Structure 1
Amino acid sequence: MALTQGVCLLDRAGALPGGGRRWVRVNHRGDEVTLVEGVALAIGTAAPLALVEPASAAAVLLAAGGGAVDDLAGDTGVKGLRGHLGALRQGRVTTGALKVGVLVGAGVLAAWEVDRDRGRGASTLAAAGVVAGAANLANLLDLRPGRALKVALLVGLPLARTQPAAAACSGAALAVLPDDLGGRSMLGDTGANAVGAALGVAAVRHLPPRARWPWLSVLAGLTLVSERVSFTRVIDATPGLRQLDRWGRR
């Protein structure tokens, strides 16, 4: 909670890009919430990570920056991968398409460093895709309070003992979770992309190179499924998932 409060001080001081009102959104209940949680989480993840894995921290901040552009200047009339690709075919570059490019760049940056000592090849491309795909998937999950953070903790805590990116992300996620569950703030693209990128980095460092392609296929498959299937409907219709999703939520 202290992380979010600290960034809120920047908000009141007028230090956030675009001014405070640019970081306010209406959630699924119709309440106004602030997106400063996402800024707090990105900083809270990247700052300690920079001490041990500077390239990973840079990838997290790059993913967060791509999300921030979409948060502040995104075209709400264009939705999903299909919508952004359709706009590109018409010669229009949306902030969502720009964000995809930034996420790929973050993935390449992280993967290039991860494979520095083991040799770079096709599996390095798969690693970049895992980081970018995880960042995008986290954003697709951020549709209800606490959902993306719960998934992040389920994935991140088992990896936290050996992976600094997972440890930093899990610590930041625990810090902002109460405000998220309480409906006072939300991750937005800024925070969700940072969460996913951090966990993607942890995953590619933890997985053997041969496992990267299967995981990339899973992430790509879920992204394509999301174009036609509502994750929220699936979760609400599945006992166990529904209770976990609603746990702690106001």
Structure 2
Amino acid sequence: MRRSWVEQLMGMPISVLARGEYADSAAAEAAVKELYAELDDVDRVFSPYKRDSDVSRLGRAEIGLDEVHADVRDVAERCAAARELTGGLFDADLPDGGWDPSGLVKGWAVERAGDRLRAVDGVDWCLNAGGDVLVICPGGTPFTIGIQDPHDPGRVVASLARTGGAVATSGTAARGEHLYDPRTGRPATSRWLSVSVSGASLEYADILATAAFVAGDGWPEVLPAGYEGLGVLADGNLQATPGWGVT
């Protein structure tokens, strides 16, 4: 049995696919409802587009870090750790002196909210948040995740079977030059259109995908043990790390 849900949250479609004998159960329905509620709460706290969010108020210096929601302080610490992990290729501190944790928040929030789904016995889950995917498969049968063609959102350039963990993609095809290179303070430029990263944690896969894209041709060197990647060049050629495709 399969069942699916989708809602527009955090500025993107977030879809949930449940598979298994209890996919249509009340427990599965309740878990998905709780997941969406949790992500809506995260958006209220972290959205840089909502004037009354903690992040927006912090940016306008209306409140200090000691006055924000505890999750904001947690994310600030995670952003500092991500900067250290990536050798400065991921940095929530902006060139203009501002602070934008958005590059970490999505992966962190979805990974955490996934605990709602993990608590339901007898159900496999595939959670897609704007193209970044979290897979939970206690049944052991993999989901197949498509890697979007940067030139054509309706096509895939590769697929990856996963029985657990996450896949995140970073690039400029969908949103243009929205990433900046902390080494120069300028928009990140690369002959790569996208880099996808797979691994155990969506939070880290998302961070590493951003850092890898910013790194340019040296992107495979950014990935630590346990994380693999696939890069898509502007001419359509692909480059994968040795463990890409291994479930």
TM-score by length of 2: 0.32
Comparing both structures, which one devotes a greater share of its residues to helix? 1
| Greater relative CO (CA pairs within 8 A, separation 6+) | 1
| TM-score computed with the length of structure 1 as normaliser | 0.31
